[in-house]
């Protein structure tokens, strides 16, 4: 397994750890509170996760590759999201609430590319720990990202952060095209990352990004599968996200366990 417990004394990695703790706390409090407090916690959680991923990427990749990774992630996702909102391609017809996720650019909250980046980076690390061949790594990373949205989208749609439109009418139903759009977008990003950034080889500890990946996978399952408030009791979301992400993460966990 790529190094997990090395160079933990690096102060930048320590800051990444603090940001990871803030992420988890924001996620937990999100389930407890409601209204405008949830909006603040959503923004705080995304920014904290992004900082954790960014700080780790800076240490693990070095400044030049870090800039390339972040640039590819942020530029690609803001372009795809703007196209998506304007045309419905590739995700389907949707629009964001312009008042709840901070400043917007062409009707897309500027927070959204950072929400992509925060999970793109640990997904790339996890999958490259599992497989080394470029094409399988790109495809598995993309599957992991698209499967994460099986958790994310129902939660955010229920909260009203964005709205889907089916045949021109607002709908709580999330179209299958959204999963396809996520997979395509992630494939474009990871293909560019594979070409211009390369394999994430480093002796830096991966404890922070790996812990956050497991938190998202298992924490999201727990908050959805339990039926007692403040848990969500959404069995379909719980199991689809758990199984979808598990297609990649279960083999990774098993491999990690055997190599401990």
pLDDT per position as a tens digit, 72-89: 999 999 999 999 999 999
pLDDT per position as a tens digit, 10-60: 899 999 999 999 999 999 999 999 999 999 999 999 999 999 999 999 999
**How is residue 37 written in tokens?**
């407090």
Look at residue 74 and tell me if it is in a domain: yes
Look at residue 3 and tell me if it is in a domain: no
Q: Does residue 212 register a pLDDT over 50? A: yes
Q: Does residue 4 register a pLDDT over 60? A: no
Instruction: Identify the sign of the CA torsion 146, 81, 215, 66.
Output: positive
Q: Which residues are CB-contacts of 123 (< 8 A; sequence separation ≥ 6)?
A: 141, 144, 145, 148, 186, 213
Phi, psi of 246 (to 5 degrees): -65, -25
Alpha helices in 160-233 (DSSP H): 176-196, 207-214, 220-225
Share of the chain above pLDDT 90, in %: 91
For residues 159-168, average pLDDT: 96
Instruction: Identify the sign of the CA torsion 162, 166, 172, 177.
Output: negative
Contact 204, 163 (CB under 8 A): no
Q: Does residue 233 register a pLDDT over 70? A: yes
Confidence band, pLDDT 50/70/90 cuts, at residue 165: very high
Q: Which residues are CB-contacts of 12 (< 8 A; sequence separation ≥ 6)?
A: 55, 58, 59
Look at residue 176 and tell me if it is in a domain: yes
3-state class of 163 per DSSP? strand
Within 13 A of 51's CA, how many CA atoms are on the CB side? 17
pLDDT per position as a tens digit, 74-131: 999 999 999 999 999 999 999 999 999 999 999 999 999 999 999 999 999 999 999 9
pLDDT in the model for residue 9:
54
pLDDT per position as a tens digit, 147-157: 999 999 999 99
- pTM of the full predicted structure? 0.94
Confidence band, pLDDT 50/70/90 cuts, at residue 202: confident
Domain that holds residue 154: 11-258
Task: Please state, as a whole number, how many other Cβ atoms lie within 10 Å of the Cβ of residue 258.
Answer: 8
Question: How many distinct structural domains can be found in the chain?
Answer: 1
Look at residue 5 and tell me if it is in a domain: no
Task: Please state, as a whole number, how many other Cβ atoms lie within 10 Å of the Cβ of residue 142.
Answer: 24
Contact 208, 20 (CB under 8 A): yes
Contact 149, 244 (CB under 8 A): no
Look at residue 1 and tell me if it is in a domain: no
pLDDT in the model for residue 67:
98
Look at residue 2 and tell me if it is in a domain: no
- Residue 120's H or E segment, with its range, is helix 111-130
pLDDT in the model for residue 203:
84
Torsion (CA) 201, 203, 206, 209 in degrees, nearest 10: -50
Look at residue 6 and tell me if it is in a domain: no
Look at residue 227 and tell me if it is in a domain: yes
Closest CA to 77 of 111, 54, 43, 45: 111
pLDDT in the model for residue 3:
44
């Amino acid at each position: 397994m790529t190094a997990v417990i090395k160079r933990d004394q690096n102060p930048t990695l320590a800051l990444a750890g603090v940001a990871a703790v803030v992420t988890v706390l924001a996620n937990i409090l999100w389930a407890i509170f409601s209204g405008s407090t949830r909006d603040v916690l959503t923004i705080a959680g995304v920014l904290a996760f992004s900082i954790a991923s960014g700080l780790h990427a800076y240490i693990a990749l070095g400044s030049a590759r870090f800039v390339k990774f972040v640039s590819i992630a942020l530029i690609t996702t803001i372009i795809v999201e703007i196209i998506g909102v304007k045309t419905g391609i590739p995700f389907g017809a949707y629009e964001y609430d312009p008042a709840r996720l901070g400043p917007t650019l062409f009707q897309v909250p500027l927070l959204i590319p950072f929400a992509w980046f925060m999970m793109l980076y640990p997904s790339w690390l996890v999958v490259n720990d599992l497989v080394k061949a470029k094409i399988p790594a790109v495809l598995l990373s993309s599957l992991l990202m698209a499967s994460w949205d099986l958790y994310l989208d129902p939660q955010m749609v229920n909260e009203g952060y964005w709205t889907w439109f089916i045949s021109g009418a607002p709908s709580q139903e999330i179209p299958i095209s959204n999963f396809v759009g996520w997979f395509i977008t992630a494939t474009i990003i990871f293909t560019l990352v594979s070409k211009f950034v390369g394999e994430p080889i480093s002796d830096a500890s991966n404890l922070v990004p790996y812990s956050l990946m497991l938190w998202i996978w298992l924490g999201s399952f727990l908050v959805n599968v339990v039926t007692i408030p403040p848990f969500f009791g959404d069995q379909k979301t719980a199991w689809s996200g758990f199984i979808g992400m598990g297609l990649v993460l279960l083999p990774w966990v098993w491999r990690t366990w055997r190599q401990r």
